[in-house]
Amino acid sequence: MDIAREAIAFLLGFVAALSGAYVFALLQALSRRPRLARVLKFDRRHDVLILYPPRDTNVPEPILPTISIEDFMAIYNIQRLLASAGWDPNRIRMKDMTHWCDDPRDQQQNLVLLCAPWRNTVTQQAMQGLAHVRERYDISLDKGPDGLKHMRFRCGQFFDTTHEQIDALGKEGIPASTGPLDDYALVLTAARGEWAQHGPVLVLSGLRGIGTWGAANHLRRHARGLEKRAGSRGFAIALSVRYGRWDIADTDELNFVSFE
């Protein structure tokens, strides 16, 4: 009987410990949710709409969405971030940028814009609409007449050198997919009303696809650290991104600005 009572007591204690750990983890997750929502400036009354540019294809009318691997990985990271913020997965939608505003509600959604203005026309519109913010903090993404892509952020300029790196790797007989390859990226979030009549917006843009993937990866991993740094109207981060061996190897914050 003593052994039975001890076994029951042990079992009850074990269950209580597991329940306590689960409740503690749940409370921690719940406490993170509103803070992460504030960091992103998203409005929980509306859905999240992720807009990506279609990938170039030789198929005139593809049946399935055409999306680059880098953009797909960026979406994966954003979905994980939103899940940690307690966002209902059924309220996260994805669209090819060419179908934006097919639904009149699109303009009021929480927008996530992937890729640079020269690839995503909605990113271009958003950056134009946020000219007052960009001019104040000296932020731009541009592609020159010679095709050279560059980012400007608070008096610093960062240029696309990926082609040179790929050429250098090729001369050494190293596949480009092995890397390392470097890119620069912008993370920019603005509260509702900053971009005309539209809802909150999050821009994730590399000079190349690697940077866009890296920007989403960085935001997912460092969102909690932005809780005390993000301004009431949003923030922007300039990043360097390193890719290697089919993954984002590292990201580094080059500069940060809070929109007050």
Residue 47 scores a pLDDT above 90: yes
Please report, for residues 26, 39, 85, 132, the alpha-carbon distance to residue 52 in angstroms, rounded to integers and kept in the order given: 33, 22, 22, 24
> Does the pLDDT of residue 63 top 80, yes or no?
no
6-30 pLDDT, tens digit per residue, is 545 544 554 455 445 444 444 444 4
Q: What is the pLDDT of residue 6?
A: 55
- Kindly report, residue by residue over 111-169, the tens digit of the pLDDT: 999 999 999 999 999 999 999 999 999 999 999 888 899 999 998 999 999 989 999 99
What integer pLDDT is reported at residue 30 of this predicted model?
42
Domain limits, the chain:
2-259
Enter the DSSP assignment of 97: G
Report the mean per-residue pLDDT for the chain: 85
Query: What average pLDDT does range 80-85 have in this prediction?
Result: 89
Which pLDDT does position 59 carry in this prediction?
Answer: 63
Query: Cβ(203)–Cβ(127) under 8 Å?
Result: yes
> What is the rounded distance in angstroms from the CA atom of residue 209 to the CA atom of residue 18?
43
Q: Which residues contact 179 (CB under 8 A, 6 or more apart)?
A: 169, 242, 243, 244, 245, 249
**Residue 78, phi then psi, degrees to nearest 5:** -65, -40
Contact yes or no for 159/149 (Cβ under 8 A): yes
Distance CA 158, CA 21 (A): 46
CATH 3.20.20.70 given to domain 2-259: no
* Of 19 and 183, more confident: 183
Could you tell me the strand order of the sheet in which 149-153 lies? 139-143, 149-153, 156-159
